Amino acid sequence: SQKDKSGDDDLAALLKKAYTQAGTPLPFLAPVHRLDRNTSGLILLAKTSEMAGQLTEWLKDKDIQRSYLALVKGDPGEQGRYEFPLRKNEKSNEVFVDPKGDEAITEFRRLQKLGNSALVSVRLLTGRSHQIRVHFAHAGHALIGDKKYAKKPWSEIFHRPALHSAEITLPDGKKFSAAPPVDFLELLKKLGGNVSNL
């Protein structure tokens, strides 16, 4: 989503190049929130600095709703809410639950129980780095494929954290949605899940 140590183009730079090649150069384009590198799905970008400010304000005021799909270890229950404060170690790019950390709130609802795993719908009420991944791991339900926060064999079942940004709803009710990619759907099928209603 944003520049990192790799020096590779970020999402805004890649999109600007694509628009320029199509003959519609964009003078301004900026993400207003982040997705972890291997998370699929939706991300909001602003085409003006004014809109970037407005979207950032709406996010801060929790007026924008963001929903994710995640495949997790075990069964976290029918629904729940995690409120573990989080602290980030910038050097290691790892996030920890810490009583002195920043407020972090995640709500979830189980969509499918899959034997020893589950498909959950997750709603972010705050937007901390690695929030969903760390909250579920701390609760004993790490995301499948998460090399950083899940233990073996769960970390090795999938090539990335099984997390997809599925829906974003703006304050006026306008809703954007993205179907999960093929790799996520194939994992869900492999785990015995139903992909027909996603």
What is the Cα–Cα distance from 68 to 88, expressed in whole angstroms?
A: 22
Closest CA to 144 of 162, 163, 118: 162
Q: What Cα–Cα distance (Å) separates residue 92 from each residue in 2, 4, 87, 168? A: 17, 13, 12, 30
36 is catalytic: yes
Cis peptide before 153 (omega within 30 of 0): yes
Q: What are the residues facing 81 on neighbouring strands? A: 107
What is the Cα–Cα distance from 113 to 108, expressed in whole angstroms?
A: 13
Residue-by-residue DSSP string for 132-162: HHHHHHHTT-PBTT-TTTPPTTGGGSSSS--
In the set 8, 9, 36, 102, the catalytic residue is 36
Active site residues: 36
